[in-house]
Chain A
Amino acid sequence: MNFTVIFHAGIATGTILLIAAIGEIFAERSGIQNLGIEGMMLLGAMAGFKIAYVTGNAWLGLLAAILAGGLLSLLHGLVTISFQADQTVSGLSLTFLGTGVALVLGEGLTGLTTATIPNLTVPLLSQVPYLGQIFFTDQNLLTYFGYLLIPIAWLFIFKTKPGLHLRAVGEKPDAADTLGVNVYRLRYLYTFVGGCFAGLAGAAISIAISPGWYSYLTTSGQGWIAVALVIFAQWNPTRAALGGYLFGMLRRLLLDLQGPAMLLGLKNPFFYDHNLVFFLQMAPYLLTIIALVWGSSAARRKRLGAPAALGEPYVRGERGL
């Protein structure tokens, strides 16, 4: 098992989780929980794939994916912000909706090949021993985008004025409202941003990092892992990225564990009994649960937590009782 290869692959697949998770961090920091990410990712994956196939241009596909995710999230926004429906159920309904539309419109796309977003090796940086091979050699352009996204997102949320408003709207919306900040508009905006990122993450799968359309198997639950990642990351983009990369490495590690006949000097059980591989396949999902447990106990210890107004519809109340 070559660890450089594992890390390299981990960065690549981790990018997908990172993009989706950071998008959701924006939405949740404004107070809206969007559980529809899985559906938006799948829809983005399908839209990106289809448009890339039809136009021969992967960048147009990317654009289509972003728009698809964003539009779907606006429906979520409408229902949760304007209609004040329960955010959990609305998010779920959007998963079904996004998945349904993706499956129907994605009919017949399996097995096709499309134009893809290319990989890139950065000239000087890729010569750096180990790190260069992992981060800067033959990584997809979207992965590099991921590298940039992390500090930009972090700085935006914590060091800028719009970031201050974002956080205020998610912590105590009435405080922001009385100071003239348009709570509804900001929540719509960041829900939309989250949806766009989810669509982008989907396209990152189908036309960039793991090209191809495999119906609902294309995302196979990564949207849910991204939602869990947000909680594990305590709504912090750098921690979300770290978690995403770790998860990606784990996936690759699990694949590699199945190959060799010998593992650390002992007989490799997964090589001799192929059915044990199912337990390996369980691992990401099991780890997500463990990450959630760990994340919530850490939160209680540090007395940090979710944005206080997360999940609560904001209604400008009738004050003066």
Chain B
Amino acid sequence: MGLRIDVQKRTEDYPKWLPAATSIGAVLLAFVFSGLILLSVGADPIRIYSFFWTASFGSWGAVSDVIVKATPLLLIGLACAFAFKMKLWNIGAEGQFYMGAFFASMVILLPMVDLQTTPKFLVLGLMMLMGMLGGALYGFIPGILRAKYNINEVITTLMLNYIAVFWNNYWIFGKYSDAGFQMTKMFPKIAWLPRLSDFAKQYKSFSGITLHVGVIFGLVAAVIVWLILYKSRWGYKITLIGDNPKAAKYAGLNITRNIVLVFMFSGALAGLAGMAEVTGVVHRLQERISTNYGFSGVIIAWLAKLNPFAVILVSVLFGALIVAGREIQPSGVSFLIQGIILFLVISSDVLLKYTIRVVRTNKDGEIVQPKATVVEEAK
């Protein structure tokens, strides 16, 4: 007689709270594991974690910083979630981000319109469109390769990430460089996204708060993505293709066209994030605008189980990680935590497929059934 762990495939649907629980559990466990690794290199995890808290939420300034950091993460997280819904592994959000930043900057750098006379909302509006266009075009490339030739989009998008950075660098170091530094001249105020500190004269508490309009872009995008995926015809098509492309083809859907469109839409969101960073935060085109937002976006989307509103929450969490992580030694810690989180989330998905229980066994090794259970007969 003894106890044993019994693993059985689930025959009924898993409880509705389980996905959220596994995500939360993964995050908590990730902090534990990272803490252990930190201990092994002589750092003090408790001190580091409590610093996380104060650095992210200890003051309004900190909260604003977190939201500012969360903004591109939100848009990129949505971009990834959208593509992942159709099982398109868009790991190229980073590249699409940079291309969006580049295209948006072209409005100012070329310039595409007369910056002295054009009204601000038109300039910014044009930059938004260009940003989305840049991202969409950059998403078109891996999209068409995957759709027509079935080329692995993980590799193509990753390669394109590197290429986009070099492309940007060429212009930043060269033609548009500001006195030879790795950045362009600062953009004129007309190309700055409105931020709360603009209103510091009316509201003293807003002084120094850099929270900008980009966050509105993110929230609106989340609603749009939700409407598309859960309420629209296109969303149904995406869900069907993602679950079973053969069935989708049988049902008359054009798989090729949808792959390209989804990739372009995903790229457009990431491109918009690039535009928002360039106009809302750094106000110029420079070498390092993104700190691996593209990869964080993948993890955010997965942790949020592809739900647009959960993406909002998770991107705030990751924003906090990045803000606090800036000042933490050793420097790879936030990357490490993110990696552990993703790994644990994937591993925990097994709980959705199987039930794991501790059972009593009798001397023959058979499971002792409690009297209430009735053994099901074959149908």
Contact = CB atoms under 8 A, between A and B. Distances in A.
B347 A278 contact: no
Contact of B350 (A75, A84, A92, A281): A84
B140 to A, nearest CB: 14
B337 interface: yes
Interface in A92-113: 92-107
Given A35-B154, A278-B170, A282-B163, A79 B331 contact: no
A100 B336 contact: yes
Contacts of B333: 104
Interface string A283-298: 0011011001100110
B175 to A, nearest CB: 8
Interface stretch (A7-15, A176-184, A224-232, A236-244): A224-232
B336 A103 contact: yes
Q: What's the dominant secondary structure at chain B's contact region?
A: helix
A276 interface: yes
Contacts of A286: 159, 163
Interface residues of A, number: 48
Contact of A278 (B155, B166, B302, B343): B166
Given A93-B343, A104-B41, A285 B159 contact: yes
- Which has the most chain A C-beta neighbours within 10 Å: B155, B166, B347, B350? B155
Contact of B170 (A79, A90, A276): A276
A107 B41 contact: yes
B126 interface: no
Given A83-B349, A224-B155, A285 B145 contact: no
B156 A289 contact: yes
A224 B167 CA distance: 20
Given A107-B330, A278-B167, A100 B145 contact: no
- Which has the most chain B C-beta neighbours within 10 Å: A86, A275, A279? A275
A306 B65 CA distance: 47
A296 B151 contact: yes
A107 B170 contact: no
Contact of A100 (B163, B170, B173, B340): B340
Given A83-B347, A99-B339, A282-B162, A107 B156 contact: no
A8 to B, nearest CB: 26
Contact of B173 (A39, A98, A102, A275): A275
Contact of A282 (B37, B151, B155, B166): B166
Given A85-B347, A90-B346, A104-B332, A296 B149 contact: yes
Interface in A61-90: 75, 78-79, 83-86, 88-90
Contacts of B158: 221, 224
B91 interface: yes
17 contacts: A75-B343, A85-B347, A89-B302, A93-B339, A93-B345, A100-B339, A104-B333, A105-B40, A106-B332, A107-B329, A221-B158, A224-B155, A224-B159, A228-B152, A231-B152, A275-B174, A293-B151
Interface of B: 37-38, 40-41, 89, 91, 145, 149-152, 154-156, 158-160, 162-163, 166-167, 169-170, 173-174, 295, 298-299, 302, 329-333, 335-340, 342-343, 345-347, 349-350, 353
